[in-house]
Structure formats: structure tokens, C-alpha cells
């Protein structure tokens, strides 16, 4: 049952790309119970996709939401995050010299 529901949600999310703006706004009204904002497809699609997944799988865990809020706060204060794996690798274009 869960696999069928997941496949259904995936299909719904993928189908958003092929819908017209009018169809997306109609879907927005049915999901959010409000009029769709006057934006383009590129604005509507990610928000509709998130909402479809949220309705199917439930909202984000509170712990995860807090972690994202903390990261957003730190980024607003100017903190930059690096990928620890990539930070240990030489930069592209670095010339490595072997010494024997």
C-alpha cells in the first residue's frame, strides 16, 4: 500500500511539469483552499510539489525544521558552510608534483 502511494505521489509531482499555468493554479486552489498567487509556473511547481509530498507523507519533523532554521539563521549572519569531503581535496587546477 505504501509503495503504491509513493508511486502515485511521484507521478503527481512529475506531472506538474507538463501542466499549464491555469491547471497549476486550479490545483493550488484545491490543495491550499486559497487563490493561487499571480506567479509563473517556475514559482508554483516547487511549492505544489512540496505540498503534495507533505500531504502524502506528513509534515517535516520538528527536529529537522529547527535544524534548517538554525542553518538559515547562521547563513544570514554570514557563516559559510563547506562540504567536508570536498574541503580535504585540492582545488581544481592544482598541480600535484611527485618527489622521489
Residue 6: predicted pLDDT: 67
In tens digits, the chain (100 residues) has pLDDT values of 345 466 799 999 999 999 999 999 999 999 999 999 998 999 999 999 999 999 999 999 999 999 999 989 988 988 877 767 666 788 889 998 999 8
54 Cβ contact list (under 8 Å, min separation 6): 60
The C-alpha atoms of residue 37 and residue 35 are separated, in whole angstroms, by 6
Q: What is the domain partition of the chain in residue ranges?
A: 1-57
Q: Is 71 within 8 Å of 81 (Cβ atoms)? A: yes
H or E element that contains 66: helix 62-76
DSSP 77-93: TT-----HHHHTSPPTT
pLDDT of the residue at 2: 46
pTM: 0.64
Amino acid at each position: 500500500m505504501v509503495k503504491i502511494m509513493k508511486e502515485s505521489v511521484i507521478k503527481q509531482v512529475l506531472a506538474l511539469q507538463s501542466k499549464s499555468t491555469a491547471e497549476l493554479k486550479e490545483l493550488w486552489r484545491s490543495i491550499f483552499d486559497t487563490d493561487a498567487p499571480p506567479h509563473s509556473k517556475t514559482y508554483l511547481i516547487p511549492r505544489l510539489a512540496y505540498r503534495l509530498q507533505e500531504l502524502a507523507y506528513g509534515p517535516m519533523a520538528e527536529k529537522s525544521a529547527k535544524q534548517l532554521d538554525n542553518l538559515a539563521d547562521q547563513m544570514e549572519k554570514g557563516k559559510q558552510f563547506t562540504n567536508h569531503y570536498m574541503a580535504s581535496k585540492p582545488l581544481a587546477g592544482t598541480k600535484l608534483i611527485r618527489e622521489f
